[in-house]
Amino acid sequence: GGSDKSTDTTAANADGLEKTQIKIGALPIPDSAALYIAKDKGYFKDEGLTVTIEPVVGGAQAQQSLIGGSLDATQTNYVSAFLAVAAGNKMKIISDLYQAAPNSFNLMVPKDSSIKTPADLKGKKIAVNSKKNIGTLAVTSVLKTHGLTEADVQFLEFPFPEMGAQLANKVVDAAWMTEPALTAVQKNLGAQKLADTMVDSTADFPIAGVVVMESFATENPKTVAAFQRAIAKAQQISATDRKAVEQILPTYTKIDAATAAVITLGSFPTSLDETRLQRVADLMVEQGYLKSPIQAKTLLPGNLG
């Protein structure tokens, strides 16, 4: 495999784009709203791009698809991206998509739980959607502020939609959740918020962006630039117009309009900022996710190596 096999490498067209057909992977969650807004409002088309959005399972799988060539670009969370780069994958982040806001990623406990503060979590089981990822990173930093370490708890992997059941069945003592499951467990099970995990060192934490293979970025600079322009426009709308996001959510997720209106959303950054990204890398080093520091700027296009 490799990007040489990817679809339709048309010669330069009117805009001089190296490639006009792009397949991008996205998760059916609010993070990727801008991709769908850009497609819906025709921003991609304006740039001469034909973009197909395919659902993916998670960052790791999507990155493998980049390598194989079934995707040209994909949404991914930054923790996965840095881990992949540290493992030797050559990838570039080309757009920022999503950033944490207060109460967008909370630790939840069952209604009648004896756990009142994060300090009570010692020796308990916590559900996260994926280990060695943003959830564990954020929860660990909350634990740290309460004098605990990662070793004091046990992380268990569950898909977000199933966490409610695990809380109810007392399989886990707490669950790190995001929307719309977050609202659902509060409504259905009366689950309670134990802590907002996006505070202090993780406040306004960068969550997700779009990555491509390094080779893709070098071979298709104009296409990448066109893509970035389209996303920037869409991010602008998402950042300023919650209604637009509420409207787009039911079109690509099974979140209905009523739920979309009440859930807590993160924010949609309008630029790709290397210092913000560096926070992720630094926290990962601090918590031992990365063995050696990574310069975030090496992951931005134009910084090869």
Partner 1 sequence: MTRHNPLDNRLLCGALGVAGLFCVMEVAGRTGLIDPLVFPLASTVLGRATALVTDGEFLSDVASTLGAWALGLLLTVALAVPAGFLLGSLPRVESALRPILEFLRPIPSIALIPLALAVFSDRFDMKVTLIVYAATWPVLINTMYGLKDVDPLAKETLRSFGFGKSAVLWRVSLPSTAPFIATGVRLASAIALIVAISAELLGGGAQGIGSYVLESGGSADAVEYIIAAAIWAGIIGVITNGLFVLAERRIFRWHTARTEVV
Partner 2 sequence: MNGLLRGVVRLWPVPVVLLLWELITRGIEMLSFPPPSQIATSMYTMWLTGPAERLWLTDAALTNIPVSIGRLLAGWVLAGVVGIVLGVALGRSPLLFRFIDPLVQFARAIPPPMLLTFFMALLAIGPRMQISFIAFGIVWPILINASEGARQVDRQHLDTARVFGLSSGERLFRIILPSAMPKIFAGLRVSLSLALILMVLSELVGSTDGIGFQLLDAQRSYDFSGVWGTIVVLGILGYVFNSAFLAAERRVLSWHRSAKQTT
Q: How far is the CB of 71 from partner 2 (least distance, A)?
A: 15
Judged by CB under 8 A, the chain residues 124 through 163 that form the site for partner 2 are 127, 130-133, 154, 156-159, 162
Q: Which of 18, 48, 69, 225 binds partner 1 (CB under 8 A)?
A: 69
Q: Which of 71, 83, 177, 296 binds partner 2 (CB under 8 A)?
A: 83
What single letter denotes the amino acid at residue 300? L
From the list 183, 97, 109, the residue with the least C-alpha distance to 139 is 109
Interface with partner 1 includes 255 (CB under 8 A)? yes
From the list 99, 92, 60, 45, the residue with the least C-alpha distance to 73 is 92
Q: Which of 33, 47, 59, 65 binds partner 1 (CB under 8 A)?
A: 65
Q: Which of 9, 64, 264, 287 binds partner 1 (CB under 8 A)?
A: 64
In terms of phi and psi (left: phi > 0; alpha: psi -120 to 50; beta: otherwise), the region of 4 is: alpha
Interface with partner 1 includes 156 (CB under 8 A)? no
Instruction: Give the DSSP H or E segment for 36.
Output: helix 33-40
266 close to 235: Cβ distance less than 8 angstroms = no
Q: Which of 86, 115, 156, 189 binds partner 1 (CB under 8 A)?
A: 189
The DSSP bridge partners found for residue 154 are 125
Q: Which does 127 bind (CB under 5 to 8 A by kind): partner 1, partner 2, none?
A: partner 2
C-alpha to C-alpha distance for 139 and 107, rounded to whole angstroms: 8
Tell whether omega for the bond before 180 is within 30 degrees of 0, i.e. cis.
yes
73 close to 66: Cβ distance less than 8 angstroms = yes
What single letter denotes the amino acid at residue 180? P
Structure tokens at 233: 């426009």
End-to-end Cα spacing for the chain: 22
C-alpha to C-alpha distance for 229 and 48, rounded to whole angstroms: 11
Q: Which of 18, 40, 150, 162 binds partner 1 (CB under 8 A)?
A: 162
| Candidate ranges 35-43, 120-128, 146-154, 179-187; the one touching partner 1 (CB under 8 A) | 179-187
Q: Which of 86, 156, 168, 285 binds partner 1 (CB under 8 A)?
A: 168
Q: How far is the CB of 163 from partner 1 (least distance, A)?
A: 11
Q: Which of 29, 94, 107, 195 binds partner 1 (CB under 8 A)?
A: 29
> In sequence order, what are the residues at sequence separation of 6 or more whose Cβ sits closer than 8 angstroms to the Cβ of residue 262?
183
Structure tokens at 46: 């304006």
In a 3-state reduction of DSSP, which class is residue 24?
Answer: strand
Q: How far is the CB of 270 from partner 2 (least distance, A)?
A: 30
| Candidate ranges 33-41, 222-230, 254-262, 268-276; the one touching partner 1 (CB under 8 A) | 254-262
Interface with partner 1 includes 40 (CB under 8 A)? no
Query: Could you list the residues that contact partner 2 (CB under 8 A)?
Result: 1, 60, 64, 67, 83-84, 86-89, 127, 130-133, 154, 156-159, 162, 165-166, 169-172
Query: Could you list the residues that contact partner 1 (CB under 8 A)?
Result: 1, 5-6, 25, 27-30, 52, 54-57, 60-62, 64-65, 67-70, 159-162, 164-165, 168-169, 180-181, 183-184, 188-189, 252-255, 259
